[in-house]
Amino acid sequence: MKKFLCLAASLMMVFSLVACTSKKDELVMATNAEFPPYEYHQGDKIVGIDVEICQAIADEMGRELVIEDMAFDSVITSVYTGKADLGAAGLTVTEDRLKNINFSTPYATAAQVIIVLDDSEISSPDDLIGKTIGVQLGTTGDIYAEDIEDATLERYNKGFEAVQALLQGKIDAVIIDNEPAKVYVSQNEGLKIVDEAFTYEEYAIAIAKNNTELLDEVNSAIAKLKESGKLDEIVNKYISADN
């Protein structure tokens, strides 16, 4: 009996070590695959700029990238609670977010823009005063739009739902990141992007506050991707310079 218990204990230790090793060999990326060209569904796969950047980081670290698709407002929570190693979903660095998580070196600059109907009288951010505006829940567009005087915000789980509401005349405008905005406008007749941007911002990868080792590894990998030109290669694959 004693030998059996020792053997059982030994097997448990082996299985435990295998489980830990397996987990350590993975790099779990939390994302919201509704944000082209940064992350989106292509058939049964999730592709995009953030996916390829995180894949390159995982390759550099010798780990297997595992993608977890979820609601946008769950991405940072997933990193904060340790359910994911990274959060990459077109995440903007903000002071409020930095209270709960760390951010990597920024890897892209972006703008929040305004989508309106072709015949809309809205031509600048100032024209949003008193209007009904669609935003994606939990995004910086959602956060910044709260400061618009007398505006009514309609929050949607996905960006394209806000765009559909605009096309149906339920709202006056949509505030969303520039690259997804260009995709939505190209796919739907009767829409345009206002010339003047709503805000400018930087994208980075979210990492838990206590995981400084991973933060250093990710920053090192990003630096190598920039130096080698691989980062530009990934971005240019999805975003044409003349767009």
Residue 6, exposed/middle/buried by CB under 10 A (0-12, 13-18, 19+)? exposed
Span 168-178, pLDDT tens digits: 999 999 999 99
pLDDT for 3 equals 38
Span 38-53, pLDDT tens digits: 999 999 999 999 999 9
CA nearest to 214, candidates 82, 77, 45: 82
pTM: 0.76
- Mean pLDDT, the chain, integer: 90
Rounded Cα distance between 122 and 128, Å, is 7
Rounded Cα distance between 163 and 119, Å, is 15
Rounded Cα distance between 15 and 86, Å, is 26
Q: Which residue has the higher pLDDT, 14 or 163?
A: 163
Q: Which of 8-12, 131-135, 232-236 has the lowest mean pLDDT?
A: 8-12
Question: Is 111-201 in the same CATH topology as 23-107+204-238?
Answer: yes
User: How are beta strands 152-156 and 132-136 bridged, if at all?
Assistant: parallel
Q: Which CATH number fits domain 23-107+204-238: 3.40.225.10, 3.40.50.1370, 3.40.718.10, 3.40.190.10?
A: 3.40.190.10
Q: What residue segments make up the domains of the chain, in order of their start?
A: 23-107+204-238, 111-201
- What confidence tier does 241 reach under pLDDT thresholds 50, 70, 90? low
pLDDT for 23 equals 63
Mean pLDDT of 78-86: 96
Q: Which CATH homologous superfamily contains domain 111-201?
A: Periplasmic binding protein-like II (3.40.190.10)
Question: Which parts of the chain are beta strand (E)?
Answer: 26-31, 34-35, 39-42, 45-47, 64-69, 86-87, 101-103, 108-117, 132-136, 152-156, 173-177, 191-193, 199-203, 206-208
